[in-house]
């Protein structure tokens, strides 16, 4: 009888081992197999939550076929306590292995809400937006001008959430004064900027920031990025340019930035100024005169007066020879590269053509004809006078 009992027990043990092994293999296959998600979703991991709650939520959201398998895998790999608070994009068909990596890897949130502080040439705006996981595009929730428009409640709500991302976006052609002034409105930053950054030294781009970052550290990142861009462009510059130093290149690039109507014209605009410098002609460009009046502090908001065009200042390129003493704005990468690799042309004149771009000319006669056409276009436009 004992032999029979032992035999039956052994049989049951073998069956149990096979069942456990089969169950383990099935669990592993489920863990590595494509998941049930038909489209991407955003998964929020709250601070202080645990793997049991997250795995259950993922199962209820249809991201995993079994929250228990995900939880067991996390415990087996010793990652149950590695959850990182934030909002994470889980792509369509993601496996449990991929999802576990996403929610425990850490780093910046990859979806959810974002607040963008946009610093433009003419104004600054704060935009609150949310990523739509299905399309991968941001949907605007609110947009307002700080200091001029009432702060929407959604901004206060979103800015206080732990998984909200923040970024500062600089437009090409902003001045250093504008950047510093508008960064004072970025209430998630701390500290002050002790000294106004040199004009042209800040790279227009989008910078992710974190609550508590110092304004000085963000400025330093912008300066480091611009220095790198200039160094690369200077190393790859064309031969025979009438520019002696990287600083002169940045000054020319800032003029190209302010004079470019459409992106495709940058190299042609640069060629006009390069040709003028080579031929000893004055640059005669309005943006430099305007900078001499405003010192880069805001927008002039009116046309230039004849007395201003005749007045000799370091920035009046109708009066001085060559380049002004400093850049007149912070140019983007494309304008820096255009200044150092201009188009090959004979153009020394350009004027607006009514489309947002310019008509270019190599001779004064051609230029006068382009100006005549522009005057006709101007005359046909409705008056803005009240």
pLDDT digits (tens), the chain, 386 positions:
555 555 555 555 555 555 545 544 544 666 767 877 777 777 777 777 888 888 888 888 777 778 788 788 888 778 877 777 777 778 777 788 877 887 787 666 677 788 999 999 988 999 998 877 777 788 888 888 887 888 888 888 888 877 788 999 999 999 999 999 999 989 899 999 999 999 999 999 999 898 899 999 999 999 999 999 999 999 999 999 999 999 999 999 999 999 988 889 999 999 999 999 999 999 999 999 999 999 989 888 888 888 888 898 999 999 999 999 999 999 999 999 999 999 999 999 888 877 788 888 888 888 888 888 888 777 776 655 44
- What is the structure's pLDDT at 298? 82
CA geometry: angle 175, 166, 163, nearest 5 deg: 175
The per-residue pLDDT for 107 is: 65
What's residue 28's pLDDT?
61
The pLDDT of residue 301 is 82
With contact defined as beta carbons under 8 Å apart, do 152 and 144 qualify?
Answer: yes
How distant, in Å, are the alpha carbons of 375, 379, 381 from that of 384?
16, 12, 9
Final residue before a domain boundary, out of 230, 261, 292: 230
| Domain-embedded: residue 5 | no
- Same domain? 131 vs 225: yes
82 and 176 fall within a common domain? no
Segments forming the whole domain that contains residue 181: 113-230
Q: Does residue 1 lie in a domain region? A: no
* Of 309, 302, 263, 312, residue with least CA distance to 286: 309
Q: Is residue 63 part of a domain?
A: yes
Q: Which of 105, 129, 147 delimits the end of a domain?
A: 105
DSSP classification of residue 196 = P
- Here the tokens at position 69 are 């398998």
Of the chain, the end-to-end C-alpha distance in Å amounts to 112
136-164 burial: b if 16+ Cβ within 10 Å, else e: eebeebbeeebeeeeeeeebeebbeeebb
Nearest by Cα to 256 from 171, 312, 326, 173: 173
Say what the pLDDT of residue 10 is.
Answer: 58
Instruction: Note whether 328 and 267 are same-domain residues.
Output: yes
Q: Are residues 36 and 124 in the same domain?
A: no
pTM of the model: 0.78
Q: Do both 222 and 275 map to the same domain? A: no
> Considering only CA atoms, which of 101, 79, 82, 104 is closest in space to residue 91?
101
Domain co-membership, 247 together with 318: yes
Measured CA to CA, the distance from residue 322 to residue 109 in angstroms comes to 49
> Which pair of tokens denotes residue 239?
């031969």
The pLDDT assigned to 69 comes to: 80
Q: Is 203 left (phi over 0), alpha (psi -120 to 50) or beta?
A: beta
Provide the token pair at 206. 């989008």
Shared-domain flag, residues 48 and 69: yes
What radius of gyration do the chain's Cα atoms show?
31
Q: Is residue 67 part of a domain?
A: yes
C-alpha distances (whole Å) from 331 to each of 75, 98, 203, 222, 292 are 52, 41, 7, 12, 17
State both tokens at 297: 């502090």
**Residues 196 and 316 occupy one common structural domain:** no
Task: List b or e across 262-290, with b for residues whose CB sees 16 or more CB atoms inside 10 angstroms.
Answer: eeebbbbbbbbbbbbbeeeeebebbbbbb
Closest CA to 166 of 155, 176, 150: 155
Long-range contacts from 370-379, C-beta under 8 angstroms, 24+ separation: 377/353
The answer to the question of residue 4 being in a domain is no
Q: How much is the pLDDT for 385?
A: 46
Distances (CA, A) of 237 to 242, 255, 331, 348: 11, 17, 16, 21
**What is the count of structural domains for the chain?**
3
84 in the same domain as 118: no
Q: How far apart are CA 345 and CA 273, in angstroms?
A: 11
Q: Last residue of some domain: 88, 105, 122?
A: 105
């Amino acid at each position: 009888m004992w032999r029979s009992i032992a035999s039956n027990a052994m049989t049951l043990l073998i069956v149990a081992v096979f069942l456990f092994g089969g169950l383990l293999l099935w669990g592993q296959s489920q863990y590595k197999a494509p998941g049930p998600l038909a489209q991407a979703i955003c998964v929020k991991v709250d601070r202080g939550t645990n793997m049991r709650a997250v795995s259950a939520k993922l199962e209820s959201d249809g991201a995993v076929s079994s929250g228990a398998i995900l939880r067991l895998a996390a415990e087996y790999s010793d990652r149950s306590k590695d959850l990182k608070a934030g909002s994470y994009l889980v792509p369509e068909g993601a496996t449990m292995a991929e999802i576990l990596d996403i929610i425990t890897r850490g780093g910046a949130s990859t979806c959810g809400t974002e607040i963008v502080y946009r610093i433009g040439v003419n104004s600054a705006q704060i935009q609150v937006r949310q990523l739509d996981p299905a399309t991968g595009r941001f949907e605007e929730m609110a947009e307002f001008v700080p200091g001029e428009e009432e702060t929407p409640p959604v901004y206060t709500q979103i800015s206080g959430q732990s998984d909200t991302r923040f970024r500062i976006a600089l437009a090409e052609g902003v001045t250093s004064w504008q950047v510093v002034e508008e960064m004072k409105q970025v209430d998630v930053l701390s500290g002050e900027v002790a000294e106004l950054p040199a004009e042209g030294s800040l790279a227009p781009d989008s910078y992710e920031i974190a609550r508590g970052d110092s304004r000085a550290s963000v400025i330093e990142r912008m300066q480091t990025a611009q220095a790198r861009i200039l160094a690369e462009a200077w190393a790859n510059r064309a031969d025979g340019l009438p520019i002696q130093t990287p600083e002169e290149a940045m000054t020319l690039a800032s003029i190209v930035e302010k004079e470019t109507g459409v992106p495709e014209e940058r190299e042609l605009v640069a060629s006009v100024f390069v040709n003028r410098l080579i031929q000893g002609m004055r640059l005669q460009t309005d943006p430099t005169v305007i900078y001499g009046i405003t010192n880069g502090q805001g927008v002039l908001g009116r046309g230039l007066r004849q007395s201003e065009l005749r007045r000799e200042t370091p920035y009046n390129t109708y009066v001085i020879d060559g380049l002004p003493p400093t850049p007149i704005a912070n140019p983007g990468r494309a304008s820096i590269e255009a200044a150092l690799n201009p188009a090959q042309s004979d153009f020394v004149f350009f004027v607006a053509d009514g489309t947002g771009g310019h008509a270019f000319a190599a001779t004064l006669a051609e230029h006068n004809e382009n100006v005549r056409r522009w005057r006709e276009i101007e005359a046909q436009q409705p008056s803005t006078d009240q």
